[in-house]
Amino acid sequence: MGLAVIVAAGLSMLAGIGPAQAAKKTAVVAEDPGPVGSFAWEGFNWQKRFWGGAPMYNGTWDPNNVSNPDANGFVKLSISNPTGNAPVGAEFQSTREGFGYGTYSTTVEKDVSSLQKEVVWGCLFTYDPNAVPGYTEIDLCEASAWGGGAAYGENWPITQGHGYWFDATKPPGQGNNTVTFPVTNAPILTHRMVWEPGKITFETFAGADASGTLLKRTVLQGSTVPVPAKEQIHFNLWVTGGGGGDAAHVAPESVTIRDFSFVPGIPLTAPNPTVTGTAAVGNTLTANPGTWTAGTSLAYQWYRNGAAISGAAASSYVPAAADQGTRLTVRVTGTKTGYATTTKESAQTAAVAAGTLVAPTPTISGTLTVGSTLTANPGTWTTGTTLTYQWYRSGVAITGATAKTYTLVAADQADTMMVRVTGTKAGYTSVAKYSANTAAVS
């Protein structure tokens, strides 16, 4: 019953309509949109169904029952019944063949609880008619009451389903793996599916995005999970002739699809990186990427106030003078074959402070007699520091005595000598260091 019953004919889906009040999103173009079809939508090309056949009970479809995207970028599917006794279904599919592993999502306007019992809402499914034995069919959010029961007048509940068809040669319940769940009257539903080797995760949320209430999460895994083929994406709204319904007299019904997205590849486990170290010029900052999916290759890029820093592509970074007063972040990009490349960014650091110079206390060498030369020994400062000197006689600066060396004169006799070394470097706080006083000059 439920999704399993529909699968017998080759799964599909449907939904209804609601107020289109969302703003139009920025247009996207997929790397492979597929050949030109009836219309372009959400970065892909799509074909409206004009040919007859299953799963519509009378095999009748009309491309006019699929609207072109409106001003909001929404697509509407409708069941029409112009004669009152011969309903016509709606379906459209991607012209691209082969999507494969990745994350699929769609947001739909429809109170699914109001579906007529004969109507099937195939809200997003993959399908490749040439892939055997299971057609690579995965159904993200199919909904129906499947005719309402085995006999006219019965009332099966409307359910939604998550699942896939792994062997089309076997009947429902044997050739498919599906989970059904009760519907709500939420006017907007968001559905998401992550397909990866041996595992499919389905989620249905109330509301216009995945921040809404999670209505159902289904994880199906094992050897029967379909593998990628030349599957296309389908959306459809149709009428089942099964159960105890009155298929011929179905009233017009519609559903609005707000969006569709596909992100290729298996999602990586990708935490946000953190930065350790003091944000100051000359100090080493280190990116801590966290634990990614095993086997992921990581690349780094540091940013200054949101702009990439040329050459700063290692896991550590030493802020330069140009960084003073700015805030830094690091982005970590993970790549792994078969997985979706993912980039995560750290929080900003504090504003980068001025660096602190390594500034030892200078010493004086030489003989303390008039006519002898004294030399200032500054010690080892931070690389790149510019040093200047000033000599003192008994604590008073000597005019013009600003070299590294100083020759004692008669005026220095009986006085003590001292030297001051001042270090400056862009991005660092300037530092002055004084030697100890010498003994008196003789």
pLDDT tens sequence across 59-83:
999 999 999 999 999 999 999 999 9
| Model-wide pTM > 0.85 | no
| Mean pLDDT across 37-55 | 97
Q: Say if residues 64 and 50 touch (Cβ distance below 8 Å).
A: no
Give residue 196's pLDDT.
Answer: 86
When mean pLDDT is compared across 104-108, 146-150, 351-355, 394-398, the lowest value belongs to 146-150
- Give the pLDDT band (50/70/90) at residue 313: very high
Position 369 pLDDT exceeds 90: yes
Give residue 29's pLDDT.
Answer: 61
| Mean pLDDT across 125-149 | 94
Between 25 and 409, residue with greater pLDDT = 409
Q: Say if residues 42 and 73 touch (Cβ distance below 8 Å).
A: yes
**Which residues contact residue 311 at a Cβ distance below 8 angstroms, ignoring those fewer than 6 apart?**
none
Position 267 pLDDT exceeds 90: no
Between 196 and 417, residue with greater pLDDT = 417
Give residue 3's pLDDT.
Answer: 37
Position 264 pLDDT exceeds 90: no
**What is the rounded distance in angstroms from the CA atom of residue 336 to the CA atom of residue 357?**
42
**Sequence letter at residue 322:** A
- Give the pLDDT band (50/70/90) at residue 287: very high
Give residue 8's pLDDT.
Answer: 31
Give residue 19's pLDDT.
Answer: 33
Q: Which helix (H) or strand (E) holds 398?
A: none
CA angle 234, 238, 244 (to 5 degrees): 140
| Mean pLDDT across 264-269 | 82
Between 31 and 139, residue with greater pLDDT = 139
- Give the pLDDT band (50/70/90) at residue 217: very high
Closest CA to 142 of 264, 8, 270, 24: 8
Position 186 pLDDT exceeds 80: yes
Give residue 207's pLDDT.
Answer: 96
Between 18 and 387, residue with greater pLDDT = 387
Give residue 259's pLDDT.
Answer: 97
Q: In the chain, what are the domains?
A: 3-264 (2.60.120.200), 274-353 (2.60.40.2700), 357-434 (2.60.40.2700)
**What is the rounded distance in angstroms from the CA atom of residue 206 to the CA atom of residue 110?**
11
CA 161 remoteness from chain centre: 26
Angstrom CA distances, 404 to 82, 154, 368, stand at: 102, 104, 16
**Which residues contact residue 166 at a Cβ distance below 8 angstroms, ignoring those fewer than 6 apart?**
133, 134, 175, 176, 177, 224, 225, 226
Between 20 and 327, residue with greater pLDDT = 327
Position 123 pLDDT exceeds 60: yes
- Give the pLDDT band (50/70/90) at residue 294: very high
Q: First CA to last CA across the chain, in angstroms?
A: 112
Q: What is the mean pLDDT of the chain?
A: 91
Give residue 152's pLDDT.
Answer: 66
**Sequence letter at residue 126:** T
Give residue 2's pLDDT.
Answer: 34
Between 336 and 353, residue with greater pLDDT = 353
